[in-house]
A and B are shown apart, each in its own frame.
Chain A
Amino acid sequence: MQIEEIQEEIISEFSMFDDWMQRYEYMIELGKSLPKIEEHYKTDEHLIKGCQSKVWVHAALEDGKVVFTADSDAIITKGIIAILIRAFSNQKPADILAAKTDFIDEIGLKEHLSPTRANGLVSMIKQLKMYALAYETQMES
């Protein structure tokens, strides 16, 4: 599936809920299905800076596609990174770089997008895109 289609799918899942509590409960559920980073990658090198909770992200290139794994010590953060990874993992670097992130607004998580927000959603997106950029550059050369 293309990134855009996955994002549409996530938006339609979240549109079923009418209050914040259900949305957060679903996000917590999604966190449980997060493709887990291997324990030995939980190092400072894989830590995303700017989050009050810890978030580790690892990326690998498999058959021309970037595969992300991650983890966090906070449950809500785990849900947020799980949503991002669902949209961006197993995609071509160029597609990840070109992808929009408006869907975050549409699933009612807009407040997490503020750059000063302690959870660092912005830092997470940036980190995923930086991995994609690195692989894109690598593939070009």
Chain B
Amino acid sequence: MLDVTEIRKDFPILHRQVNGQPLVYLDNAATSQTPRQVIDTIVDYYSRYNANIHRGVHTLSQEATDAYEQARIKIQKHFGAANTREIIMTSGTTEGINLVAQGFTGFLETGDEIWVSAMEHHSNIVPWQMLCERTGARLRVIPMNEEGVLVLEPFKEGLSDRTKLVFCNHVSNALGTVNPIEEIIQTAHSAGAAVLIDGAQAAPHMRADMQKLDVDFYTVSAHKLCGPTGAGALYGKEEWLKKLPPYQGGGEMISEVTFEKTTYAALPHKFEAGTPNICGGIAFGAALDYLNGIGMDQIAAYEAELLSYATESLLAIEGLKIYGQAARKTSVISFNLEGVHPYDVGTLLDKMGIAVRTGHHCAQPVMDFYKIPGTIRASFSFYNTREEVDRLAQGVEKARQMLS
């Protein structure tokens, strides 16, 4: 079992006070906290070898390039990609999705169909709506049920040779449901459609293997994985990435430029125009090292235990309802108190030093499904403790008494 007391020593921020109370940080699904090892990597980069990459002949540039490309290898290994040509460094999940959505513009025509799940984050709905507007393709939705589980039958029945793309998150940010992406990928492939999986919420809790999944695209953000904001990665099967046109024009992504014609750089640089977030990419690699040092299986086992303890503790509170009761869930609990606005509970919890997220979690269709304005979402990480769960439960009970 992982030693949470030791682990917490790695995270300076977990030792601060908020509103006079020791911080209880339960907004990990929005962003994770950063361990000393990653902070040190960032400081080291700017203190020792900050330079632009891929073009300098001088030592600093070479060191920065090596470190950046080393990070790409770490990402490739962590996610089980066949080679580094399949790893595009991005600013985060949203950019990865937009890169693919933009790239598919020329491949779609009126009457084609794109499927998305009913529990997508807005970042995985809006780019496809825009793609549909550009191409005349139609957006179709894989529905969900009351437990917060996708219902695949309408999707299976609705598939045809017009189905070109399928998008789904691996884990729902609003509910924590782990979606049956293996089945979705196989089903989509049987109809000849490509699949993009948004792995932002899954990556902190489990290791997804690109080759085993046989997924076409998979996208993640570093800041949910103990890394910095503004960094992330898009996995794409090499055959797809070769077919897709470049996303943005600029330096780094070219091979030769004349005013008559430009030839593009080879993968992965074809999709990496301009100076990237060099430090962010390197720190992303350090964050993966940190997580792997603890072990993703250890993390998953610890979080599963914490989730069941928290679920039990919260359900003991009068009038508390949990949204998303899937059998396979990550350590996320979305809930409401009967007759109480989530915003009120979030405000009072903050006064008690407890950080949770309130609102629609950028997943308005999910809130509309349950006919609620939003939820309170407590999301747990491997550095959270049972004592913190107790503080949450006590805080929610106190809020309930004050608000009812």
Contact = CB atoms under 8 A, between A and B. Distances in A.
Interface of A: 20-21, 24-25, 28, 52-54, 73-77, 118-119
Interface stretch (B45-53, B132-140, B343-351): B343-351
B351 A53 contact: no
Nearest to B404: A75
Given A21-B402, A24-B402, A28-B403, A118 B359 contact: yes
B90 interface: no
A73 B358 CA distance: 14
Contact of B351 (A20, A73, A118, A119): A20
Nearest to B403: A75
Interface string B306-324: 0000000000000000000
B343 A52 contact: yes
Contact of B344 (A20, A21, A25, A76): A76
A36 to B, nearest CB: 17
A52 B343 CA distance: 7
A74 B359 CA distance: 12
Interface residues of B, number: 14
B207 interface: no
Interface string B334-358: 0000001101100110010000001
18 contacts: A24-B351, A25-B402, A28-B403, A52-B374, A53-B341, A53-B344, A73-B373, A74-B341, A74-B343, A75-B341, A75-B344, A76-B344, A76-B348, A77-B341, A77-B343, A77-B344, A118-B358, A119-B347
A37 B374 CA distance: 23
Which among A21, A73, A76 has the highest number of chain B CB atoms within 10 Å? A76
A104 B27 CA distance: 28
A77 B340 CA distance: 12
A52 B359 contact: yes
Contact of A75 (B340, B351, B359, B373): B340
A53 B348 CA distance: 14
A76 B349 CA distance: 13
Given A52-B374, A73-B341, A76-B343, 7 more contacts: A28-B403, A53-B343, A75-B341, A75-B344, A75-B403, A76-B348, A77-B343
A52 B340 CA distance: 14
A139 to B, nearest CB: 37
A53 B358 CA distance: 10
Contact of A28 (B19, B358, B373, B402): B402
B349 to A, nearest CB: 12
Nearest to B360: A52
Nearest to B359: A52
Nearest to B350: A111
Contacts of B359: 52, 118
Contacts of B341: 53, 73-75, 77
Interface string B154-183: 000000000000000000000000000000
B344 A74 contact: yes
Contacts of A77: 341, 343-344
A118 B348 contact: no
A76 B124 CA distance: 33
Nearest to A117: B347
Contacts of A52: 343, 358-359, 374
B343 A119 contact: yes
A114 B358 CA distance: 18
Nearest to A53: B343
B338 to A, nearest CB: 13
A94 to B, nearest CB: 34
A49 to B, nearest CB: 15
Nearest to A23: B351
A75 B347 CA distance: 11
A77 B342 CA distance: 12
B361 to A, nearest CB: 12
Contacts of B343: 52-53, 74, 76-77, 118-119
A21 B350 CA distance: 12
A74 B336 CA distance: 13
Contacts of A73: 341, 373
Contacts of B348: 24, 76
A43 B347 CA distance: 25
A57 B344 CA distance: 19
Contacts of B344: 53, 74-77
A20 to B, nearest CB: 5
Closest 5 CB pairs of A and B: A74-B341, A53-B343, A74-B343, A52-B343, A76-B344
Nearest to B351: A20
Interface string B260-298: 000000000000000000000000000000000000000
Nearest to B347: A76
A109 to B, nearest CB: 11
